[in-house]
Amino acid sequence: MQMYEIHLYVPKTGKLTPSMLEWLYEYGQSTDQPEAYWPVRRIKTRALARRMLYLDPDLDPIQGPGGDVELHYPNDQLGIVLYIHDRGVVIFFPYMAYSIYSRVVLGICYTYIRFLYDIAGFWSFDPQLNVLSYADDYQSMEDTAQLMDRVMPKMLQGNA
């Protein structure tokens, strides 16, 4: 199953920029970069997981690698996972096309994104659409749904 992903970060300057994303792409896996070079704040993974559980107590927390935390949406059919790492959050969900479920999944995910923006200033980056946003809105959700509607049939044809 192909997964869609949205990355969330808290920029130190209050605004996430393309050059910051380039730096994260190049050095984000590095452990030897000084803190002053990082364009995004360090995250307290467990504290953030607790805040997310306050919003949605039905999320299922699972210990990830190192100090990372995964929060799984209780309905496995929707496939939503929030992966909290030391520099941000990645929201994963499956590509779904032509389905009411896709709008439901997107609505749930964008509720989480808005909550993270409101409580801590998280900005989102959608690598599939190459869109940066301070808090995703209905138009971003609709753009994502339209992308899934365009891409999913091609993916299904490739697997046939």
Q: Tell the residue number behind the tokens 């792409």, with chain if given.
A: 25
- Crossing angle (nearest 10°) for helices 100-120 and 138-159: 130
Residue 118, domain member (yes or no):
yes
pLDDT in tens, 9-52: 999 998 899 999 999 999 998 889 999 999 999 999 999 999 99
Return averaged pLDDT per consecutive 10 residues of the chain, 160 residues in all: 88 92 93 94 96 96 95 92 97 76 82 91 87 64 63 51
Q: What is the pTM of this model?
A: 0.84
Residue 34, domain member (yes or no):
yes
Which candidate, 17, 18, 14, 7, places its Cα nearest to that of 87? Answer: 7
Residue 45, domain member (yes or no):
yes
State how many domains the chain has: 1
CATH number at residue 139: 3.30.310
For 129, counting Cβ atoms within 10 Å of its Cβ (0-12 exposed, 13-18 middle, 19+ buried), the class is: middle
Residue 160, domain member (yes or no):
no
Residue 150, domain member (yes or no):
yes
Q: Tell the residue number behind the tokens 């940066």, with chain if given.
A: 132
The pair of structure tokens assigned to 37 is 């070079």
Give the domain extent around 72. 3-155
